[in-house]
Structure 1
């Protein structure tokens, strides 16, 4: 049997994996590499750090303010958010599985200087490409289910992994190759869809007391 602390650590680890799946690190890494293909390694790493810092701040701000907005502004319950978040996960996963971003979609980023590129990294790179409604709803649900401390720890763990992945992006791309990263990304989408279905089922069961 787990103790209370061990149970929290276990929950934190499981939630961090769920958040990582939603963040789709391998899929986003290949897209970010394509968007910054002509940049020097130092500028690319600076850009990736800027994306991660911005995305992390967005998630943490929403984590603390989301429950208040959910209850007192929009007057929706956690189960309502579960169903909506599940639908978003299914739609996003289906879109990523069926439609692949084309190289020409990223060409306009390669003509920007460093300052403009860093400014452009906030939208769309940090939001909504890396962090979107699916990530935000997953974080809120984790906080409501397991507590704010566990959710915060899970988010920190997930972004720590993302930081390492993006820091060594060039090395990973050279060793693993874009094709394998693409395959990993597609496999992750199936699990994201399954997470979305599970969230919808739990939400419906709770609403109708099944």
Structure 2
């Protein structure tokens, strides 16, 4: 029973990792936070892991109630809203408008940095409609304990990747991170457009 339990969790961990893509997103988050000092970056990474786990677990436990009964919305509406956020954020970053009004350059205050880590870095960039729908399906298939366990293991993996981000930062270098940060904004905007497009299609075509 114990062996089957571990196998089930690891199977769903692989599924969630495929959706969250932590191995691709961690370098992306590094480029988006490169202007912050190490202490602020660490707090941002912790905020991403904690808020991401909280959002996903929250949808596992109460997602059906909030979406279907309280707000009466579906995944398509969530796709449109999340996509619009990504498009706006990517556009602002490309034009250099993403900095806090109270700070000079691109350096954010701790409060603004944590807010930015939660939205848009955690939601909808990391935890989007695809992740939410996936974990809700896993919950229905495998139950609460296995689904939450799989999510916890996945975010522990992300925590480890963030813990070696300083080493990755040295390997990649400042110039490479700067170039990646600008290129990635285009992909983020494209992902946002795709989310909006798919959401609109789903709403009107069922």
Q: TM-score, normalised by structure 1?
A: 0.64
Provide the residue aligned with 2:103 in structure 1: none
1:148 paired residue among 144, 152, 156: 144
Q: Are 1:56 and 2:46 an aligned pair?
A: no
- CA deviation profile, 1:50-98 (whole Å, cap 9, x unmatched): 121111111111110024446656899xxx98xx8xxx7xxx9xxxxxx
1:130-209 to 2 correspondence within 5 Å? 130-175=126-171
Structure 2 distance, partners of 1:18, 1:106, is 35
Could you tell me whether the CA contact under 8 Å between 2:26 and 2:158 is conserved in 1? no
Q: Secondary structure at the match of 1:108?
A: coil
Structure 1 distance, partners of 2:142, 2:72, is 21
How far is 1:113 from its partner?
A: 2.1
**Residues 67 and 6 (structure 1 numbering): CA distance in 2 closer, same or farther, change over 3 Å?**
farther
Provide the residue aligned with 1:12 in structure 2: 9
Could you tell me whether the CA contact under 8 Å between 2:135 and 2:147 is conserved in 1? yes
How far is 1:11 from its partner?
A: 1.1
Structure 2 distance, partners of 1:121, 1:18, is 24
Provide the residue aligned with 1:42 in structure 2: 39
Could you tell me whether the CA contact under 8 Å between 1:35 and 1:107 is conserved in 2? no
2:110 paired residue among 101, 111, 114: 114
Provide the residue aligned with 1:203 in structure 2: none
Segment of structure 1 superposing worse, 56-65 or 167-176? 167-176
Structure 1 distance, partners of 2:119, 2:167, is 26
Could you tell me whether the CA contact under 8 Å between 1:35 and 1:106 is conserved in 2? no
- CA deviation profile, 1:131-170 (whole Å, cap 9, x unmatched): 1111111111111111111101100100000111112212
Gaps of 5+ in 1: 93-100, 183-210
How far is 1:174 from its partner?
A: 3.2
Structure 2 distance, partners of 1:70, 1:16, is 24
**Residues 171 and 105 (structure 1 numbering): CA distance in 2 closer, same or farther, change over 3 Å?**
farther
**Residues 66 and 169 (structure 1 numbering): CA distance in 2 closer, same or farther, change over 3 Å?**
same
Q: How many residues end up aligned between the 2 structures?
A: 160
Structure 1 distance, partners of 2:23, 2:157, is 11
